[in-house]
């Protein structure tokens, strides 16, 4: 493990946050998130996953975000997690179609909202707050119901 740390330091990777199950690092303008078994470089996806893993008082929400290149964000990734993640989309307990058949509907409706949230957020906590108020499960389910995507 020490070799990995030394290698990361040599190539310019900065560890932003590290605990037992979550690690955030950054190299230049690229962010890397290791959240349990999930790995992503997509900031919005990471926050959507973190919403399921961390409570509102966790220190992770204080992490500052700057210089985010929104062109690197794929809204469908975070929408997958915000709409239920693996639990919902593998079992289809509530949805009538698989994710691959309806992600474009969600992206078309909410993709720009995700990009705007990133642009106006200064911390992961800001993103968390905006996701909860603007992309909560009730709102997403109402949309899914209007598109006949629910059972």
The overall average pLDDT reported for the chain is 90
Using the Cα atoms of residue 9, residue 34, residue 16 and residue 25 in order, give the sign of their dihedral. positive
Contact 135, 142 (CB under 8 A): no
> Residue 45, Cβ neighbours under 10 Å: how many?
24
* Mean pLDDT split into 10-residue runs, the chain, 151 residues: 46 85 91 95 96 93 89 95 94 94 96 96 96 95 95 86
pTM over cut 0.75: yes
pLDDT digits (tens, 9 = 90+) for 95-109: 999 999 999 999 999
Under 8 Å CB-to-CB from 55, ≥6 apart: which residues?
Answer: none
Whole-number pLDDT of residue 68: 85
Whole-number pLDDT of residue 10: 46
Q: Where are the beta strands (DSSP E) in 28-110?
A: 30-35, 38-40
Contact 53, 22 (CB under 8 A): yes
Residue 3 CA: distances (Å) to CA of 7, 8, 9, 35, 81: 6, 9, 10, 21, 33
pLDDT digits (tens, 9 = 90+) for 132-144: 999 999 999 999 9
């Amino acid at each position: 493990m020490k070799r990995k740390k030394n290698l990361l330091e040599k190539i310019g990777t900065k560890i932003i946050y590290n605990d037992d199950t979550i690690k955030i690092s950054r190299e230049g303008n690229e962010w890397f998130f290791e959240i349990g078994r999930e790995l992503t470089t997509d900031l919005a996806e990471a926050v959507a996953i973190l919403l399921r893993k961390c409570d509102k008082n966790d220190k992770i929400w204080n992490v500052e975000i700057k210089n985010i290149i929104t062109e690197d964000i794929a809204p469908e990734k975070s929408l997958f997690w915000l709409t239920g993640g693996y639990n919902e989309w593998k079992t289809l307990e509530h949805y009538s179609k698989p994710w691959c058949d309806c992600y474009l509907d969600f992206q078309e409706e909410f993709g720009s909202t995700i990009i705007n949230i990133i642009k106006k957020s200064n911390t992961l906590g800001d993103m968390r707050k905006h996701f909860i108020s603007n992309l909560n499960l009730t709102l997403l389910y109402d949309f899914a119901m209007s598109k006949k995507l629910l059972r």
